Amino acid sequence: MLAAAAALAVLAPLAGAQPPGSNPGLPPSATATGLAPQKITDMAVRQLQAKNHYSDVDLLGFLINGECLEATFDSYAAFGTGMDPVLFGGGPPPIGGRKANLSPEIQAWAEEVARDEIGHVRIIREALGADAPPCPQLDIDKAFEKFFNTAFGTSNVTWDPYKNDINFVLSMFTLEEVGATGDQGVTIFTATNGNLTNVAVAAGLAGSAGYQSAADRHILWLRRNETVPEFNVTVTEFMDKMSALRQFRSLYTGKLHIDQPLEMMGGINVVPTDGNGVTLARTPQQVLNIFVGGSADGKGWFFPEGVNGRIKTPEPLNPDVPQELLALANAPYTVVQSAGAVNPMTVAPPLFNATEQLLSTLSSSPSSG
């Protein structure tokens, strides 16, 4: 696992938002990324839909698993109790869960997020009616410890997500941002079915989760130099490891740099995006693979008995996308320093052959971790 994280860490330069200090006052200029990330999402969705024909019940039904997880964890942390049993839809009580020890500022934030997450479960149940699956068995206790020990290549570090502000925000954020990318992915899937009410639900969930994740990132950014004593690293270093694991668990997004650290290219990265400042999507399979720790049967970590609904396993993780498109999606900026030097609509050639670098990175990554 450490080898994988190290391999991913050298996948630089990253095709994220504009590098700090570049091109001041000018629009993003001369990025070769273009529409490649959006075309990759388009291809991934079409491939999965051609084969599986996921209905909105399948898609929103998948989302309810993650919403149950986030709502239940956030609700315990904020209020010391889980959401209303009706919203579990007959699902079992979670493993773990208690009131987190929070400062007044983070307590208020925890409460807002918990209310919104509970609302997310509620609206999906309303949209799907009797077709909505129950919440699955949730682990909101040791699953975090398993995640972070894997991220750090350790096996015995104790992690209490309810211990204090930092542990809570790091734990909440770990789930939330995966949800944000998954909601964006499901938005595109539901678009193929054409029910605009459901598209609006999924798009609104993506927006909400994205706002929440960015707020978490900003809280963590302000405290980036603090030590996380469990792993004796700074918050920034902790985020590097967390992000590398989430990236690695989505093998296809292991090629597309979807999961990004808190500090990138030497500066702030509160809104992780492609080179044009546009947020990125994951498929349900990629989301699931992160939450279950890469387990092929879809059971593990946060969902020890698996998830409910039609989408139950992380296969296929890796849609068939041309290497050249992946290379474009990861292409670096050509930083232009003076006004008017380059028309912002022109695409400069990559500074290096991104395909070759990506292929060599992938060949040095283990196939599981």
Ligand X SMILES: *[C@@H]1O[C@H](CO)[C@@H](O)[C@H](O)[C@H]1NC(C)=O
Looking at residues 217 to 236 of the shown chain, list those that interact with ligand X (rule: CB under 6 A).
222, 225, 232
Exposed, middle or buried: residue 346 (CB in 10 Å: 0-12, 13-18, 19+)?
Answer: exposed
Asked if 127 is part of the footprint of ligand X (rule: CB under 6 A), the reply reads yes
Q: Does 186 bind ligand X (CB under 6 A)?
A: no
Residue closer to ligand X (CB basis): 156 or 338: 156
Binding flags for ligand X, 190-209, as an x/- string (CB under 6 A): -----x-xx-----------
State in angstroms the smallest separation of the CB of 156 from ligand X.
Answer: 4
Query: Taking the complex as a whole, how short is the minimal distance between the CB of residue 333 and ligand X, in angstroms?
Result: 17
Query: Hey, which residues between 231 and 290 contact ligand X (CB under 6 A)?
Result: 232
Whole-angstrom Cα distance, residue 41 to residue 47?
Answer: 10
Closest residue by Cα to residue 70 from 196, 168, 152, 158: 168
Can you tell me whether residue 275 is helix, strand or coil?
Answer: coil
| Least gap, CB of 128 to ligand X (angstroms) | 7
Q: How far apart are CA 93 and CA 114, in angstroms?
A: 17
Largest CA distance in the chain: 62
Contact with ligand X (CB under 6 A) among 339, 356, 360, 364: 356
Count the site residues for ligand X by CB under 6 A: 12
Beta strands in 72-138 (DSSP E): none
Residue 192: other Cβ atoms inside 10 A: 16
Applying CB under 6 A, does 353 fall inside the site for ligand X? yes
Considering beta carbons, is residue 81 or 360 the nearer one to ligand X?
360
Closest CA to 67 of 195, 189, 186: 186
Q: Is 363 in the site for ligand X (CB under 6 A)?
A: no
Which parts of this chain interact with ligand X (CB under 6 A)?
127, 156-157, 195, 197-198, 222, 225, 232, 353, 355-356
